[in-house]
A and B are shown apart, each in its own frame.
Chain A
Amino acid sequence: MTPWLVAVAQAALLALAAPLVVGVTRAVPARLAGRAGGRIAQPWRDLCKQLRKQPTSPADASMFFVAAPAVMMATSLIVAATGPFIAATSLFGGADLIVVVGLLLLGTVALALAGLDTGTAFGGMGASRAMVIAALVEPTLLLAVFALSFRVGSTDLSRIVAAGATEPARVFTPASLLAAAALAIATLAETGRIPVDNPATHLELTMVHEAMVLEYSGRDLALVEWAAALRLSILLGLLANLFAPWGVATSLDPMWLAVGAAVFIGKVCGLAALLSAGEVWTAKLRLFRVPELLAGSFFLGLLAVLASAILA
């Protein structure tokens, strides 16, 4: 199969599976709490319903508000297409770690500008909080994966994953464990999960992501929610493949790709279940305690980089 086809297939797979992963993160806590909960496919139904509805723009909003959902979706799709999710082969050289972090950040920035563009206090509040969290998360993300790139000598995510898949001994190093912890915290913050943000909150004052997107409706909201779900899958997928790189296809053989896809979905759903089960026992942190958590993860990342540089 050609690299192009693989990239498109990978993006399509992630885009289709992302709402289901969100469904898993909602179903697991519901079962643990003794509720029936929605179906796993419920996020997909919501998306389809919202996609049909008319979008509205606030009276004072400009092009930034209109463009943000598309930008967020596009950056997520590019990362989904080029990242090492089902196949760890350099597709277009686009799976560079720094590029991936930059693209995800670009999506966050677009949404934050849209939040400010609405001119409401909620939009500004959400944007301000989301950007502060992003400012502290992105360095962590960069450092954590950088720790892994030191041993490979490249920031190409596919190479890092492929190196891990072929030499499992590389995965279990102190640097790797520190980086995994840092990346896990960064993933929680980046995807707006407890304890950083509560995706199910209905109280505006505690919102981060939800406050920022409060003015979106119809297909705009669908795109934002879909892109957010896609980012959750992307980050969980990166976490899974960087620290458990088994089952990733290292060639473009269709059979291995099919295996890779199946294993990948399994890994991401497993991580999503684990994540949401953890949320049942955790309370959301006060907003101004969040930086302490993120500073902690930043230092974990720094230690990981130092460890991998010194022990390399």
Chain B
Amino acid sequence: MNPIAAGLAATTGLAMCASVAAIGTPSRWRARVVGVLTAVSGTAGVAAGIAAVTGIGWRAELPGVLPLAGLTLDADALSGWFLVIVGAVTTVVGIYTIGYAGGDGRGPGSGTSLTVLPVFTAAMALVPVAGSVPTLLAVWELMAVASLLLVLTEHRHRAAVRSAGVWYAAMTQAGFVALLVGLLWLAAATGSVSFAGIRSAAGHLPAAVTGAVFLLCLAGFASKAGAVPLHPWLPRAHAEAPSHVSMLMSAAMVKLGVYGILRVGFDLLGGGPRWWWLVVAALGALSALYGIMQAAVAGDLKRLLAFSTSENIGLILLGIGFTGVLAHAGNTLAAGLAMTAVLLHTVNHAAFKTLLFAGAGSVVRATGTRHLDQLGGLVRPMPVTTAFVATGALAAAALPPGNGFVSEWLLLQAFLHPGQGADTALTIAAPLAVAVVALTTGVAVVTFVKAVGTGFLARPRSDCAARAVESPASMLTAMGVAAAGCVALAVVPALATPALTRVLAGLQLGGTPVNREVLGLHLAGTAASVRPLWLAVGIVAVTGTVAVTARSLGRARRRAIAWDCGDGPLTARMEYTATSFAEPLQRVFDDVLAPERDIDVTHDTESAYHVAAIRYHQQIPDRIENRLYRPVVDTVAAVGTRARALASGSVHRYLAYMLVALVVVLVAGVIR
């Protein structure tokens, strides 16, 4: 039996078992059973994905499964790459669920939530192996609906969850409509629903059709990926969903949007004109900058991570856009480099975002709050979680020796080699892209210093943070697995080179120019190389040497009171909060962020010169959302309110409506 088939069968089969088990098991055991089965299912997915990236192809038609069209599965190296991501994240989430959902059998531990969870992971595993338009649309919609149900898990506890659910439902369905129209149009124009048929026929389509299809698919996939300006669901859904769902959505599901763009743009439509990719690159640049600026000023830990997802998707889209532009210009070297960076960054982002959302989940579980201004001091009660979150933050900030650094290094290298005699657009776009990546990285560093520094260090700023306790072993194990993934990707990314070569060949981009040196990356045709392992070992070894040498020279360390200006003990209210930490940056980007400030000064009744209290309220609205979506939402709401007048409650009136409708249908039928 083909290993891919076996792996996929195991993945879906185990997920279905988990789903059924969630209904049948008593709440005491439910999370454990579902967690273990989901984790094993994810591991099977990783195995299937690895088999697929080694170049074994697999294709299967299952006509009886879906009515009318049947199920067509087709696994190539690109499918394998994304299957590995989905499978690995599923494994970690499975382990995490055991502890996270193993409480009183409510919320994330409820039967409904744990029944839907494996359905969601199985649907995600099937998206990259879908081999025809109906199959892709079916599993895509299954994934969307399952994730929506999971986002709504805690809808009884908080009104914000319901609002997030409505936003997510509306946007994911709008994206699905775009996708439906785009892919069906493509199928109708090529006369084939299978990807193989579309691939062979797409070359003969008129440019207007392929352009329209690409834009529709881009809208659908980019909205799923959370690219600005199609992002408003993302910070809501990621923040309000239970953390294991946030992990799956942010680390795996949004990547499938990236997969869709790659599959349709490079594989099915075979490249395309330059303007497609300039649009993608512009979308990426906007997402990266806007996402990270919103993340930098976010006070909610999960909202911060959600906007950081938008940022990373932006960097990925920027890379995809450049791949297209460079491939169009005939510079396969740099195009391959950009695509290598894109593929590595999808894996890297999946690894560190799984870890960070897991850490955020642990924090929420331990303290009951997501707000950084109320956290602090978690390093003492939760040392292991803090260490893992710091590892993830190092990667997310793209600092060496984290894994995010490797992919951003590759991305910058791609911009550096636009090629001799490149066209004007590319010559201008490449330096601008460097500036975008550089600024994004700079602000990302502030963001994650804020997240770690104000969230986990110094003194607790509230009672709930002071009462925090370390998470159970299963959650720590899950974070440990994710952290090990981050470390492996950081020090030996070169191991992925053979797989990358096959994925790139499948996308008609030649091979990857990244040579696999001994434990390092060397770029063919250029003089650039980086040795992540050496770098990591060097940093650790030199830091250790410096610390040990300095210690052996002098006397032992002593605890002392921090400088309190001689004014009694320092309280937590004197610490810098996340809001105050980000304030200078917010001032710098005041024009972009346009924060709304409200200062109420109450004076003493006896004298107007004495201030009794000052109330400061600040809100940083999402301007893009307010400009683009608020009018639409208001219009729909207004129409809905007006339409209420139609439903007066009178039976006679409703009968009249039915009669009118019947007459209209009959008249329409007769005229036609």
Interface flag for B412 (CB, 8 Å): yes
Query: SS class of chain A's interface: helix, strand, loop or mixed?
Result: helix
Interface string of A113-154 (1 = CB under 8 A from B): 101111111111101110110111111101100100110111
Interface string of B538-563 (1 = CB under 8 A from A): 11001111110011011111111111
Interface flag for A223 (CB, 8 Å): yes
Asked whether B441 lies within 8 Å of A139 as measured between CB atoms, the reply is: yes
8 A Cβ contacts from A57-87 to B: 57-64, 66-67, 69-71, 73-75, 77-78
Instruction: List the A residue with the shortest CB-CB distance to B520.
Output: A93
Interface flag for B583 (CB, 8 Å): yes
The stretch among B26-34, B199-207, B424-432 that forms the contact with chain A is B424-432
From known contacts A96-B528, A121-B575, infer whether A60 and B459 are also in contact, taking CB-CB under 8 Å.
Answer: yes
From residue B638, how far is it (CB to closest CB) to chain A in Å? 42
Q: Which residues of A contact B413 (CB under 8 A)?
A: 155
Interface flag for B457 (CB, 8 Å): yes
Instruction: List the B residue with the shortest CB-CB distance to A214.
Output: B563
Interface string of B612-627 (1 = CB under 8 A from A): 0000000000000000
From known contacts A94-B538, A310-B427, infer whether A67 and B399 are also in contact, taking CB-CB under 8 Å.
Answer: no
**How far does the alpha carbon of A56 sit from the alpha carbon of B556 in the complex, in Å?**
9
**How far does the alpha carbon of A305 sit from the alpha carbon of B432 in the complex, in Å?**
9
From residue B169, how far is it (CB to closest CB) to chain A in Å? 36
Partner of B416, one of A55, A74, A153: A153
Asked whether B397 lies within 8 Å of A109 as measured between CB atoms, the reply is: yes
**How far does the alpha carbon of A52 sit from the alpha carbon of B535 in the complex, in Å?**
31
Asked whether B438 lies within 8 Å of A70 as measured between CB atoms, the reply is: no
Interface flag for A159 (CB, 8 Å): yes
From known contacts A121-B575, A139-B439, infer whether A56 and B449 are also in contact, taking CB-CB under 8 Å.
Answer: no
From known contacts A67-B547, A92-B534, infer whether A129 and B554 are also in contact, taking CB-CB under 8 Å.
Answer: no
**How far does the alpha carbon of A152 sit from the alpha carbon of B96 in the complex, in Å?**
48
Asked whether B528 lies within 8 Å of A155 as measured between CB atoms, the reply is: yes
Interface flag for B452 (CB, 8 Å): yes
Asked whether B530 lies within 8 Å of A96 as measured between CB atoms, the reply is: yes
**How far does the alpha carbon of A54 sit from the alpha carbon of B560 in the complex, in Å?**
11
Interface flag for B649 (CB, 8 Å): no
Asked whether A143 lies within 8 Å of B435 as measured between CB atoms, the reply is: yes
**How far does the alpha carbon of A58 sit from the alpha carbon of B442 in the complex, in Å?**
29
Asked whether A127 lies within 8 Å of B558 as measured between CB atoms, the reply is: no
Interface flag for B580 (CB, 8 Å): yes
Q: Which residues of B contact A120 (CB under 8 A)?
A: 562-564, 570, 574-575
Asked whether B560 lies within 8 Å of A124 as measured between CB atoms, the reply is: no
Interface flag for A270 (CB, 8 Å): no
From known contacts A120-B563, A153-B417, A215-B563, infer whether A92 and B531 are also in contact, taking CB-CB under 8 Å.
Answer: yes
The stretch among B80-88, B106-114, B584-592, B596-604 that forms the contact with chain A is B584-592
Q: Which residues of B contact A57 (CB under 8 A)?
A: 557-560
From known contacts A106-B399, A143-B434, infer whether A99 and B535 are also in contact, taking CB-CB under 8 Å.
Answer: yes
Asked whether B427 lies within 8 Å of A119 as measured between CB atoms, the reply is: no
Interface flag for B179 (CB, 8 Å): no
Partner of B446, one of A67, A99, A132, A146: A132
Asked whether A98 lies within 8 Å of B412 as measured between CB atoms, the reply is: yes
Q: What 6 A-B pairs are tightest by C-beta distance, nearest first?
A: A124-B576, A119-B458, A116-B453, A139-B438, A58-B562, A305-B431
User: Which residues of B does A touch, CB under 8 Å?
Assistant: 377, 379-380, 397-400, 405, 408-409, 412-413, 416-418, 427-428, 430-432, 434-435, 438-439, 441-443, 445-446, 449-450, 452-454, 457-459, 520, 526-531, 534-535, 538-539, 542-547, 550-551, 553-564, 570, 572, 574-576, 580-585, 587-588
Some 13 contacts from A to B, beta carbons below 8 A apart, are A56-B557, A60-B458, A70-B544, A70-B546, A77-B542, A98-B412, A116-B457, A128-B583, A132-B584, A139-B439, A218-B554, A295-B588, A306-B432
